[in-house]
Amino acid sequence: MLGKKKILFLTGSINQTIQMHSISKFLPQFDCYFSQFFSENIFISKAIEWGILDTTIMGNPLRKRAEEYIHKNQLPNDYKAKLNTYDLVVFCSDMLFPKKFLNTKTIWVQEGMIDPYTLLSAFIQKTGIPRYWSFGTSLNGTSNLCDVYCAASEGYKKYFIEKGTDENKITVTGIPNYDHLIQHKQNDFEHRDYVMVATTDMRETYRYENRSKFLKQCVEIAAGRKMLFKLHPNEKKDRAIREIKENCPEDTLIYTEGPTNDMIANCEELITQYSTVVYSGIALGKKVHSFFDLADLLEKMPVQNGGESAQRIAKICEMYLEFTGSKEAFLNQLPSNIQKETYV
């Protein structure tokens, strides 16, 4: 008797790990394993070893945090896919593509916001330089290397097509971490009626940010109202806290952890830079400030599926795993926007 088919979920940040776990819950008929995102490149492996990439999804700090979550939830861990041969690999980033998966069925799942496309992004695409040199996520979802791409919205689907991913590979599923956001209006977070600031990890990912200038702008927007900061999980927290205390009112609230979406639900106004949480603010009807154009944000806003996005993605995984024909034949039947009747 043949054993269960095996799926490997490649994780990165804690948010990506949580999202992959939520998808796997709808796939009990398969053996699901998890691995932190990795590279087979010897130079990148050395950079990880030496701590150069500690602030990226391949670095040891984020790997440690993800693996703590995996251990706590008793999920099978197979770092670098050394234990098994897999029938399906689910990516959260296609900035790197391990060669060992070239002959394996693959699905890419969007987890959050894609960074702005820059001149550097265009140069990298034109010259064929490895995509990770973009120092951000502007090229995530655009390699066209995975077999199937699960996008957050029609707006993001349009973006991925424009940047090089085949249209017939992309299906709009929504993304679990930013689905059914309206539910957060009912919460027990202790504070209310403040101006909230959600910071980014731009500096940790080797991008320029004038944090002092940004903080002063936040104080101006708050205009004497109570302020609450929620730090990005990848930030150097001691530095970020010191800067807030130097530039903001003494009674400013600072959180390094906590229920971000509940905090947004209770705020009067949300200030972000390049952060996916701006979508939570929009969904919850808040006035938002972002480095992104508001019209572009509204176009790319993740579809709200009433909490069913994980189930929709899991159905795509199941359909592809069980399909016995060619990849091309599967793509010919892949729905451009998976509907509830497909998986009920």
DSSP string, 124-148: HHHHT--GGGGSSSTTTT-S--SSE
Q: What is the mean pLDDT of residues 184-200?
A: 95
**Domain limits, the chain:** 6-179+303-343, 181-300
CATH of the domain spanning 181-300: 3.40.50.2000
Who has greater pLDDT, 30 or 41?
30
CA distances from residue 189 to 192, 264, 267, 295 in whole angstroms, order as listed: 8, 10, 11, 30
Q: What is the pLDDT of residue 1?
A: 47
By the 8 A CB rule, do 221 and 267 touch? no
* pLDDT tens for each residue of 97-128: 999 999 999 999 998 888 888 899 999 998 98
Rounded to an integer, what distance in angstroms lies between the CA atom of residue 86 and that of residue 245?
A: 49
Mean pLDDT of 275-294: 91
Lowest average pLDDT, out of 19-23, 105-109, 288-292, goes to 288-292
Q: Look at domain 6-179+303-343 and name its CATH class.
A: alpha beta
Query: Is residue 61 predicted with pLDDT exceeding 90?
Result: no
Q: pTM of the predicted model, to two decimals?
A: 0.88
